[in-house]
A and B are shown apart, each in its own frame.
Chain A
Amino acid sequence: MKKRGVGFASIFYGTGYGNGFPDESRATAEIKEDGSIIIYVGVSDVGSGGLSIMWQIAIETLGVNKEFVKIKHNNTSMMHDSGTAAASRQTYNTGNAVLDACSKLKKNMMLASEEVTNLKVLYKQMVTKRIETRVEGYFKATTKEVNLETGQGNPYWPYTFGAQMVTVEVDDETGKVDILDIVSVNDAGKIVNPVLAAGQAIGGCAMGIGYAIMEEVFVNKGEIKNRNFSNYIIPTSKDVPNIKSYFVEDIEGTGPYGAKGLGEPVMIPTAPAIINAIYDAVGVRIYDLPATCDKVLLAIKNNA
């Protein structure tokens, strides 16, 4: 018989490299003769939207039309080091460097002319008045190394938060778990691009489903047995249910426009919420991931 259950999980997540590891980002903002503004920044967009985030922060800060702003981000000889696209750190850290660079450029633009109407004209005015047309931005996160014996210290900043509610259906004759519905609520401060953020949250849930009930690299004496997608099975559209994503925007004052990182934490509550939902459905607790049919069925039999 198929039985339904609901499970919850909530998490926190320290973004950035943390622990005092130098966590620096740099950006360069330059107004060109043709009136375009180029932001040179080492943001790697792994698909999670870092490029858009830097672009939107730059446009907001400069207060110009988006058509005039371009991001150059793919050649190490043209941009300074902005660290890894990792640790959910690009929005907060590199976003702050872009904010810094664009604030400085904006200030210089205002020095040339208080009313910005034509950027080509403005460029000429800046050159005539010997005002810098190219400026550097920088940001360094403030964390401290924790003591290895007591763990005391401030290892990360800022923290992102999230909670999820997952509804599952468990077949008590086969052990198969179907995920029916997920509600994902996250606090990543100000959301810079709501559609991209929801995409991250939904993708995170899909990855969490794989982690909870499907995925495992089988290793025998150091040898990976499943080396292809024919036997390393990840969720497909048929495994991913209706997911509702919400953001509560608890503004972080040190973030660019109040934003924090969200790439990683959005996936974390899914697996434990599924494990709790399985318990709610059939009264068995799975202690080893993933909760595959055989494990769930064995637990049901042992519980009977």
Chain B
Amino acid sequence: MQAVGVNYTRPDVYGKISGKAVYPDDIEFEGMLYAGVKRSTIAYGKVLSINIDEIKQLPGVEYVIDYTMIPGAISHGVIFKDIPILVKDIVKRIGDCLILIVTNDKESLKNALKQVKVEYEEYEGVFTVDDALKEDAPIIGDGSNILYDIKIKAGNIDEGFKEALHITENLYCSQMTEHAFLQPEAAVACYDDDGTLKVYVATQYPHYDREEVARCLNVSEDKVKIINTTIGGAFGAREDINPQCHAAIATYISKKPVKVLYTREESIISHSKRHPMKMHYKTGVTKDGKLCALKARIYGDTGAYASWGMNVLRKAAVHATGPYVIPNVDIQALAVYTNNPYSGAMRGFGATQVPLASESQMDILAEKLNMHPLKFRYINSFEVGSNTATGQKLVSSVGIKKCIEKIAEIAEIKL
């Protein structure tokens, strides 16, 4: 082949190494305004008052925008539209956006944001999955604290464990993590010559951003253009909307170019996180070293908003077995609302968490069998024609045995 399988130099490399690549913060316009949001400092409660009139009088302040001034939808979300662009009354997490301030220079914006005073009626929040699942827990979600509940059942779990020579049962916990991309969020909005509103942003999905910007402005999508600049890393944290709608609303109201730029701290507070998970695993193996049963209960702290919580816990459940044939499974995975930072997409998306449990269980069982852990993996791994726990027949391109064979070859391990 001419081009596939060949090490072509990536076309974007020249801009990146010469410093000519354009990120949103590199974009400047004559007469550009600066905008930023005041974020909630409490995790759960009701906003009683904000000193908007005082803020309007501060030097350099051009506009102070609250939810009533948003021309269209006041919330966004990749599946459920539950994340406030600007809060109406209820705050569900630290970092919820309250008001949008537009100034004519960066210093005035910094100063104005510091002067915002918010009065809250604070509610008792929920900060662990265990507390959120209690009967008398405050309800953070839409009628329930359980956003998503999926079960995967195959074979007969009780019979499966009866076949086992060894069973190991353990609780594993994974932590919340941050994407830690290099380029903090930024967006520049302006009106284009043809009258469309243009937003420069580094995003994972420009057409989704267009949809949300059009929704909040109450205009058709052809009146909005998203210019996807060079992207300074993403890892899932640029899937949900962040500065896009704020910049667009500020331009819509001011008719001027507007820039929104986050500090690292605001970036970390504002975007989604990797779901922390609690994983109860019980795994059985026969005397021949074949996995025969898996019971797993997986709880993901999805935080205050849905984001991709359903999809992440589904992915955790589907991948709970690891790449192995297990004929009898009983898996349940739940995404649970709390008042923590919201969890969403992050590289691996639920399938990154469960191998802590499944792969630890593999080593524990291999030791009980007195079998090399790589060989134990090899004899249980999928091949063409295998069924996954969801009953899916793997019809082609099942390279796991080849991967293990390569490791065995390098490490000189007999499989």
Contacts and interface: CB of A to CB of B under 8 A. Distances in A.
Interface of A: 6-14, 17-19, 21, 42, 44-47, 49, 51-52, 55-57, 59-60, 63, 66, 71, 73-77, 81-87, 146, 148-156, 158-159, 161-165, 183, 185-187, 189-196, 204, 207, 210-211, 215-217, 219, 221-224, 226-229, 232, 234, 244, 246, 248-255, 257-260, 263-265, 267-269, 271-273, 275-276, 279, 285, 287-290
Contacts of B402: 187, 248, 250
Nearest to A69: B3
Interface stretch (B28-36, B100-108, B342-350): B342-350
A151 B364 CA distance: 27
B403 interface: yes
Nearest to B7: A195
B399 A268 contact: no
A247 to B, nearest CB: 9
Given A66-B8, A250-B398, 20 more contacts: A13-B351, A18-B315, A21-B311, A47-B234, A52-B11, A52-B12, A74-B206, A75-B226, A85-B204, A151-B389, A154-B392, A215-B175, A216-B176, A224-B341, A234-B180, A250-B399, A264-B351, A275-B356, A276-B363, A287-B171
B394 A229 contact: no
B400 interface: yes
B242 to A, nearest CB: 15
B4 A190 contact: yes
Contacts of B404: 10, 163, 185
B116 interface: no
A272 B269 contact: no
Interface in B358-383: 358-360, 362-364, 373-374, 377, 381-382
Contacts of B227: 74-76
15 contacts: A8-B407, A10-B381, A12-B323, A19-B311, A44-B205, A51-B10, A52-B12, A57-B4, A60-B3, A74-B229, A149-B153, A161-B382, A163-B406, A185-B404, A228-B265
A185 B204 contact: no
A229 B269 CA distance: 13
A215 B178 contact: yes
Nearest to B229: A74
B210 interface: yes
B5 interface: yes
A74 B15 CA distance: 15
Given A152-B391, A219-B176, A271-B355, A165 B11 contact: no
A139 B366 CA distance: 43
A9 B366 CA distance: 12
B314 to A, nearest CB: 6
B20 to A, nearest CB: 15
B8 A55 contact: yes
A229 B264 contact: yes
B239 interface: yes
B151 A44 contact: no
Interface of B: 1-8, 10-12, 43-44, 93-94, 125, 127, 149-154, 170-178, 180, 196, 203-208, 210, 222, 224-229, 231-236, 238-239, 264-265, 268-269, 273, 311, 314-315, 317-319, 322-323, 331, 338-341, 345, 347-349, 351-352, 355-356, 358-360, 362-364, 373-374, 377, 381-382, 389-392, 394, 396-400, 402-407, 410-411
Given A10-B381, A71-B11, A185-B406, A222 B339 contact: yes
Contacts of B390: 146, 151-155
A183 B405 CA distance: 12
A227 B184 CA distance: 12
Contact of B403 (A150, A163, A221, A255): A163
Nearest to B208: A84
A222 B44 contact: yes
A13 B150 CA distance: 18
Contact of A12 (B11, B203, B396, B400): B400
B349 A87 contact: yes
A289 B265 contact: no
A228 B264 contact: yes
A195 B11 CA distance: 14
Interface centre among B173, B265, B404 (most CB of A within 10 A): B404
Contact of B322 (A7, A10, A226, A263): A10
A66 to B, nearest CB: 7
A217 B311 contact: no
Contacts of B208: 84
A71 B12 CA distance: 11
Contacts of B210: 76
Nearest to B376: A8
Contacts of B5: 190-194, 257
A17 B127 CA distance: 29
B154 A152 contact: yes
B124 to A, nearest CB: 10
A10 B359 contact: yes
Contacts of A187: 397, 399-400, 402-403
A254 B397 CA distance: 10
Given A10-B359, A14-B319, A46-B204, A60 B4 contact: yes
Contacts of B233: 46-47
B355 A76 contact: no
A51 B11 contact: yes
A255 B151 CA distance: 30
A222 B127 contact: yes
B268 A224 contact: yes
Contacts of B150: 146, 148, 151
Nearest to B171: A287
A298 to B, nearest CB: 15
A226 to B, nearest CB: 8
A165 B228 contact: no
A47 B400 CA distance: 27
Contacts of B407: 8, 163-165, 183, 185
